[in-house]
Structures are given as C-alpha cells and as structure tokens.
Chain A
Amino acid sequence: MIASLQPHKSRWRQTRKTLPVLSLAWLTLVVLISILTPALPLEPIDSVDPEQAISAPSIHHWFGTDVLGRDLFSRILRGSRISLACALAGAATALLVGVAWGLIAGGGSRQRDNVMMRFVDLVDSIPLVFLVILVASVVRGSVIEESGGGLGVFFVILGFVYWTPMARVVRGETISLANREWALAATALGSSPQRILRKEILPNLVPTILVTLTLIIPRVLLFEAFLSFLGLGVQSPHVSWGTLARDAFEVLNPVNTAWWLVLYPSLVLAMSLLALNIIGDALRSDLDPKDATK
C-alpha cells in the first residue's frame, strides 16, 4: 500500500518543483519580449486595414485582427509593455510606502506604532478602489493628462492601493526581529535604534518583502486591467491588456463571435498572474517551515 503510494507522491513533489520553474520561464519570456517589442518586426500600431477587420487567427495574423483590422498579436505585445510597467511601478510605490511605514511603525515606540497601525486599519476599511476610480476620473481630461503625464499618475495611483499589506507584514517582522538576540547585542554594542533598523533589521526583512511583493504584483496587474476595462485606466492610443479586453467586449455579439479578441489578451494576463501566484506560493512554503502542504 505504502510502496504503491510512494512513486505517486514523489511525482507530485516533482510537479511542485517544476511548476515554479516553468512559471519563472514564462515570466522571463513575457518580460524579455516586452522589452524587445520596439525592435521586433511588428505591424505598426496604427496600421488599420478595414478589409481584414475581425478576421480569425491565421498565418498572417496569429491571434486574428480587431474591429479596425489591426493585428492582435502585435497589439498584445505592445500592451504587455504598459501592463508590466504599471505592475512594476505600482509594486514599487507599494514597496516604498509600505516598507517605510512598517519599519517606522514597528521600530519606534508603542504609541507611534499604535497610531500608525490604526491609520492602516482605517485605510483598509475604506473601499479604496472607489476612491482610486474617482482619482482616475479626475486625472482623465485634466491638465496632467494633456501634458502626457496621465500614465505616470496612473502608475502611482495603482501603488497606493496595495501598500497596506506590505506595511502590516513589515511592521510585524520588524517587531519580532528587534527582539532577537543579535538585535539586542547590537544595542549593547552601542548602535543607535536607527542604525539597527537600517543595518541589522532591514537586510533580514528582504525574504519577507519578496514574498509579499509576489502577492502584490499580481494584484496590481489585475487592478490595471480592471481600471482599463472600465475605461478609466490606460487611454487610447496606448494599449494594455485591460484595454484590449475592453475593445473585445465592445464587439462581442452572438452573430459573429470574435472569440480570439476575448480569449488571447485575457489568457496572456491570466497566465502571467498564475505564474506569479505559483512563484509566490513556492517562495512562501520554502520560507515557512510550518507549511503543512509541503
């Protein structure tokens, strides 16, 4: 009985090891392609071809064409640049704000910690997404957007949604690390609290921060797609995975179902999200010895 289970189990364990590697490979591919997009021999972004409008995937158009006859494959590649840039910029904002907030709260007095964490509680109990939509609608059509800064503002907005989980995790870890022997030893040696935070605690927070980032990046990516889908995010002529999905739903009808327009942009996004989640899970179970699923 046990002998028959054994190979079964090890095969499962093997899958658990190869999946994160595959995910990493997929993400690397997406990032590389999106960096190289300007150098690739793609159709220009505005090459409209009415005779080819809404044609199914073929040799000439691998992913088919949209309502204006534009090649979906090259639009997805271009969209990946903006979608990834959003995710990175948003995650970077969340990283900066969250880590700073968590460190300052966790490394200071009880009172300061209390005040700062009550503020995080307050932010978490607000339906922040709706305020972000309001801000996005303010940016739309304002001076900022006309001067071309709309996308930049959009990136920063994205980061401000997801900084609270980072702040919470960093604060908790900071408090637990500050009570370890080596941190106390540093105090005994005469290091100032600021120095201990910077030189002793921050480096030891890196694994925790990385794991939290793998949770935040997919959420930002999804949130970009969500806002753009509602028409409040990335604006034409820019394309992102979210705006491509929006375009698809505008022409979705039962008579001539353009399934490729719905499927491909969302599938690329979904695979990237899945890959990020798998990597996050793998990192977490490697760092957490208590994980029962290992």
Chain B
Amino acid sequence: MTPFLVRRFASATLTIWAVFTLSFFIIRSAPGGPFDLEREPAPDIKAAIEARYDLDLPLWKQYVQQGWLWLTLDPGPSLRQPDHDVATILSQGFPVSVLLGGWALVTGILAGLALGILSAWRPGSWIDRSVVLFASLGISLPMYLIAGLLIMTFSFHWNLLPPAGWTSLASLVLPMTCLALAPAAQVARLTRSGLLETSSEDFARTAKAKGRSPLSILILHCLRPASIPVASTLGPTAAALLTGSLVVEQIFAIPGIGMHFVQGAMNRDYPLVLGVVLLYTVLLQVLTLIGDLLIMWLDPRGSDMR
C-alpha cells in the first residue's frame, strides 16, 4: 500500500508541476497585461507598477519566484483586485464551488446507481427503456439548455426557486440539478450494463438457486463488481463536473472560483488564474486517487497496486 501511495504522490506532484509550468507560460505568452486599462498610463507609471509586482524581471526569474510563492502557499496579491490577495479570493470562492460540485457529484452518483439498478432489475421493461432514454439525453443535452428550461419553469413560471444567487439552500437546488444530470446519466449507463453483465455469472446463479430475490441479488451480489467501471470513471466525471461548473456558476451567478477563472483569464490576472488551475488540478488528483482506492476495495483481486 505504502509504495503505491508514494508512487501516486510522486506522479501527482509531477502533474501539478507540469500544469503550473504550462499555464504559467501560456498565460504569459498572451498579448497585453493586467494593467492595460482603457486609458493608457504614462510609461514611467506603468513601469513603476510593473516593478512593484516584479513583472519587469526576466520571465524565468518570475517563473522561479512564482513557483516558490506557490510552494509556500502565499501567492501574493491579485493583479486586478489589488486590495485582495489571491489566497483570500480563493479561500472565499473554493468552499462555494466545493459545496456545489460535491453535492452534485454525490447526488449524481447515487441517482445513477439507483436508476441503473432499477433498469437492470427489469431489463426490457418501460422502466429500463426510460432509464436508457434518460441516459442518452443526459449526455446529449447541453448544460445551458437544462439550466434555461429549469429557470424558465421553476423560477419564472412557477416562482418556486430563485433563478440566481447564493443566498439560501433553495438557491442550491437548480444549479445542483444541472450539474448532477450528466454524472447521473453516465453512472446509470455504466451501472446498467455492468449489472446486466455480472447477473449472468455463476455466483449470481448460485444466489438465485439459494432462493434470493432478483433485486437483492442485484444489490447484494452484483452491485459491487458492477460498480468498478463507475469508480474508474470517477476522475473523468469529476473533471467534467469542474468544467460544467464554469457554465453553471456563470448562469446562476454563483460566487465560486469558476467565475474568477474566466474573468482572470480574460483580463490577465496571472496569479489568480494560476491559483484556480492549480486548485482544480490538485482536486482532480485527489478524486482520481479516491477512485483508484475505491476500485481496490471493490475488487481486491486486482490489487497489485500499480
């Protein structure tokens, strides 16, 4: 176990470093800078501002400097919001994003598992067919269509839920539904096909011979091996969720870190953008690791801990 964790930690560190380097140089190759305002400041003033933030140093020096700052977890001030430092901005937005994304991930997976079990319980029935239809729709509908339809019906037409903002528990419902739909569809698809496959195996037949009911065979015997594909797509699912959260945070005006990312990329707020990318990378590494540990727990046979 320990060598496995050490290796995973090493590769995660390598990934994070690669992402840092790539995003640092990509954003620095962008034309314009954070201090390009509508009214061009006098050259010496601009030079003074840039010197204040060390933007006048050679690029490789800035790279080393930024890398060191991030290692000490103190990235310094935001370039476009001078009164706030990046750490504060991120620590305010991050809990919001994690709350939204975490709930969406959990609801999506649970709903997907439930739907998958239902449809494998009665294959070919109308339940099965509606689940298959839902699974196809869930991965085909663009998220903003779902968001638009939900807002227009539940907020504008029936006035039940707030269309935007981050004030009460009720304002969490619509964005969470939007985000959870795609994972739910994906998980339902995987669970269904996994269950159909494992339910024809010998151990399932034995359980049937013992007199277990079909539903309990599915849940108690088949679900564990059948959910391995679900666990192995946890990383990609989480990545898709992070991407989706950019759109959802924009539509529902949620003060998470996704908004900062799009804004920061457009107006060249270098440290803020780097911060968001690094945060998402770390998050993705953690979730992928959790997925791998889950697979080991679900399927102890393959635990050669590669």
Contacts and interface: CB of A to CB of B under 8 A. Distances in A.
A259 B152 contact: yes
A193 B172 CA distance: 58
B266 A137 contact: yes
B148 A249 contact: yes
A155 B15 CA distance: 26
B148 A254 contact: no
9 contacts: A126-B15, A130-B261, A130-B277, A143-B31, A229-B250, A230-B246, A252-B148, A262-B148, A277-B136
Contacts of A232: 262, 265-266
A262 B193 contact: no
A110 B178 CA distance: 44
B159 to A, nearest CB: 8
A218 B246 CA distance: 19
A254 B200 contact: no
Contact of A230 (B148, B247, B273): B247
B227 interface: no
Interface stretch (A99-107, A180-188, A203-211, A264-272): A264-272
Interface in A228-273: 229-232, 245, 248-249, 252, 254, 257, 259, 262-263, 266-267, 269-270, 273
Given A133-B265, A141-B31, A266-B148, A254 B26 contact: no
Given A127-B284, A134-B273, A254-B156, A270 B142 contact: yes
A129 interface: yes
A131 to B, nearest CB: 6
A127 B144 contact: no
A142 B30 contact: yes
B293 to A, nearest CB: 15
Contacts of B284: 125-127
B280 interface: yes
Contact of A292 (B197, B250, B276): B197
Interface in A57-101: none
Nearest to A269: B142
A4 interface: no
A36 to B, nearest CB: 25
B78 interface: no
A142 B31 contact: yes
Interface size class of B (residues with CB under 8 A): 35 or more
A29 interface: no
B145 interface: yes
Contacts of A231: 262, 266
Contacts of B148: 245, 248-249, 252, 262-263, 266
Given A133-B246, A134-B277, A137-B27, 4 more contacts: A134-B27, A229-B144, A262-B152, A292-B196
The 4 closest A-B CB pairs, nearest first, are: A266-B145, A262-B148, A273-B140, A137-B265
A245 B142 contact: yes
Contacts of A281: 136
Interface string B113-154: 000000000011000010000001101111111001101100
B29 interface: yes
A259 B156 CA distance: 11
Interface of A: 9, 12, 122, 124-127, 129-131, 133-135, 137-138, 140-143, 218, 222, 225-226, 229-232, 245, 248-249, 252, 254, 257, 259, 262-263, 266-267, 269-270, 273-274, 277-278, 281, 292-293
B243 A129 contact: yes
Given A126-B19, A127-B242, A127-B280, A12 B129 contact: yes
Nearest to A19: B136
A138 B277 contact: no
B200 A292 contact: yes
A168 to B, nearest CB: 12
A270 B146 CA distance: 10
A131 B145 contact: no
A122 B142 contact: no
B248 to A, nearest CB: 11
A133 B261 contact: yes
A278 B135 CA distance: 11
Contacts of B124: 9, 12
B22 interface: yes
Given A130-B280, A142-B30, A270-B140, A229 B266 contact: no
Nearest to A8: B124
Given A249-B251, A266-B142, A267-B145, A127 B239 contact: yes
A254 B284 CA distance: 37
A270 B141 contact: yes
Nearest to A129: B243
B141 A126 contact: no
B163 interface: yes
A125 B288 CA distance: 8
Interface centre among B29, B148, B149, B196 (most CB of A within 10 A): B148
Contacts of A292: 193, 196-197, 200
